[in-house]
Structure formats: structure tokens, C-alpha cells
Amino acid sequence: MDWIPESTTVDNLPDEVLAAILKLVADMPVPAWNRAAPFPIAAGRVDRRWRALVLGYPEFWTNIRIAHRSRSWIWAALFVKRSQSCLLDISINLQSYMYQPNSACVYKTVQPRGRAYIPMAKALAILGPHVGRWRTIVLRAWENQLCEFFDFLRRAPRVAPRIENLASQAPRPPWNRSSPLPAGECCMVLRSAAEVDC
């Protein structure tokens, strides 16, 4: 069928219905190897209506991923701003980064002896001021980066009351495997805390 009636096109959907459909897509898991722009960025490039829609709904900007590309750091700051007061679902993967302080670039490299090239503080500088909005945290980091993260949570007790889920992955976690993740004392509604084996 070459002809599609105009009444069946996406353009005729009410904004609320289109927003609900787009939100379902925005919340889908993204593979680690995916190099495409984050969904709200890509959806905003479709046409003016979609751009106005994603800019008008802060819920589209709640999935923040800091991953294997330097642009993700810029996007993380943009997502924090555009998500307004919504709860945030955060994924941080710092294991394969080498930081060059005098360069805007972040390079992927093999990590020698478990030392982090990018301090967790770089990610926490963007996300830390909004710790009260964190809902889900997934960390893939080296031992010293995880220590930095949990030290941040310990220094701000009861500041992260909305964290419901926390998962971390490290080659050698900096705590005893038989004890729980060191987050419980500062996360009042934590439903699950998991250590993922590498």
C-alpha cells in the first residue's frame, strides 16, 4: 500500500500520547557499545514538534550515562539541567578511561594495577550537587574510584534519601565480599544494593 491516510500518521497523535510513546523508548536499556546520541538528543532532531516535546518534558532527561566517550560528560551536565527536579537514574563507567588534564579528550586505555586515571570526583562534580535526586546508580569503576564514591556518600549522611537501587562492578572491590555494600547508612530507602562480578 503506497498511500497511508493522514489520520494514521504519528503527526496526528496528541502530544501526551506521543510523549508517552517516546518515554517508553527513552527508558529502554542502551548497550554499552552504543555510540549514538542519547535518545532525547536524537528525538529532538526529528522535527520541531518532537524537539518541543522532549524539551517540554523533563522526564526525558532523567537517564544519565557517563560512558566511553567524552561527549557523555557534556550530555550529563545538560541532562541534569533539563531534568529539572525529576529523580535521576545514573550509570557511570570509568574503568576504561585515561584522563588527560590539559586536553578536552578522554582516551580509552588498559588500566594498570587498578589505579584510576579519572577521579570519581570529576563525575561527582556534575552529579554530586543533585544527590538528593538520585534514584538508581550503576557504577563500573576501579577500586579507588569506588572508594571515592562511597566516601562522598558517607560525608553527606541522609543527603541521598531517594537512592533505591545501587549496583557496582570492580575487579577487586575495596570492601569485604561477605559484607554489604557500604551505602546503607546514607541511603534511607535503598531497596537493592548489588556487587556485580567482573
- Per-residue DSSP letters for 143-157? HHHHHHHHHHHHHST
Domain ranges for the chain, please list them: 1-60, 62-196
At residue 111, the pLDDT reads: 46
Q: Is the pLDDT of residue 197 over 80?
A: no
Residue with cell 541534569: 80
Residue among 111, 175, 185 nearest 141 (CA): 111
Distance from C-alpha of 44 to C-alpha of 50, rounded to nearest angstrom: 5
169, β-bridge pairs: 140, 196
Between the alpha carbon of residue 11 and those of residues 25, 29, 43, 57, the distances in Å are: 17, 26, 14, 18
SS3 call for 85: coil
Q: How high is the mean pLDDT of the chain?
A: 78
Q: What is the average pLDDT across 181-186?
A: 53
Mean pLDDT for 174-186 is 51
Cα distance from N-terminal residue to C-terminal residue, the chain: 50
- Find out whether 96 and 119 touch, Cβ atoms under 8 Å: no
C-alpha cell at position 110: 588498559
CA distance 125 to 123: 5
Structure-derived torsion over alpha carbons of residues 119, 125, 128, 134, reported in degrees to the nearest 10 = -80
Model confidence over 100-151: pLDDT tens digits? Answer: 455 444 444 444 454 556 778 889 999 999 999 999 999 988 888 888 898 8
- State how far the Cα of 198 lies from the Cα of 195, in Å rounded to an integer: 9
Which range (9-13, 109-113, 154-158, 182-186) has the least confidence? 109-113
Q: Look at the block and give the residue holding cell 537517564.
A: 63
Res 78 pLDDT > 50: yes
DSSP 28: S
